[in-house]
Structure 1
Amino acid sequence: MFSKPDQPAPAASRPASPNTGKSVFGSDLRITGDVTSTGTVEIHGVIDGTLSARGLIIGPEGEVKGTVSAETVEVKGRFEGRASTEHLTLRASANVQADVTYSAVSIESGAQIEGRFTKAKQG
């Protein structure tokens, strides 16, 4: 009368591509260490370490210190360290002290930047 089914219930369906996800780190969050994602990561808190993702957005109150590797990087807050990216966008509120390797860059008037910006060699 009350028996378990022979087959487990089907697992929840997942998006077709793991790259469609977006992870948001709130302003009350501080992480020291490595962060890895196959999607986009949006930072409103503080990350101190290595971050690898398909996309990175550093919010106006966000701060990243360390090494970043992402296809796209958009900075509205503070970034300090090293970055390797295809597309770099620095908004007017950005404060960047970094060595960056990029393929394309966009810098809004008002962004504060210091460091070495190197265009990746096409090969």
Structure 2
Amino acid sequence: MFNKTTDQTAPPTGGPPARPSNTKSVFSSDLKITGEISSIGDIEMLGDIDGNVTARSLVVGAEGRMNGTITAETVDVRGKVDGQISANSFTLRAAAQVAADITYHTLIIESGGQIEGHFAKHKT
């Protein structure tokens, strides 16, 4: 009734499993991180980060706070960011407060978003 058909003593084939690039990491509002964060996927930050973030995309939630350098394909800020941002697509939401130098290709600023800093468009 319960037969095993695979050989459990055989070594696994190939290398380690490939890491999916469509992963999402969520950092909750009670979390404070100091240091470097790097991901090949997406990050949603609801807590505090003091350090640098590199990811495919980063969302800083309404209660999120980031102090450092952000490098990502897309950055969506709803909370507070101080530092530097480099993104292909940068979105500043209505409740956001940003004090940063921003390098972008596509820029969206909603009415009410607060920004202090410099904007520079990526050279194409």
Q: TM-score, normalised on structure 2?
A: 0.87
Partner of 1:45: 47
Which structure has the larger Rg?
Answer: 2
Question: Equivalences for 1:1-123 in 2 at 5 Å?
Answer: 5-7=8-10, 18-122=20-124
Larger deviation, residues 58-67 vs 16-25: 16-25
Residues in 1 aligned to 2:19 and 2:32: alpha-carbon distance in whole angstroms: 28
**Structure 1 segments unaligned to the other structure (5+ residues):** none
**By how many angstroms is 1:9 displaced?**
7.8
Q: How many pairs are equivalent?
A: 116
Question: Identity, % of aligned pairs?
Answer: 50
Q: Deviations over 1:32-79 (max 9, x none)?
A: 000000000000000000100000000000011000100000000001
**Structure 2 segments unaligned to the other structure (5+ residues):** 1-6
Q: CA RMSD in A?
A: 2.0
Partner SS for 1:19: coil
**By how many angstroms is 1:18 displaced?**
2.1
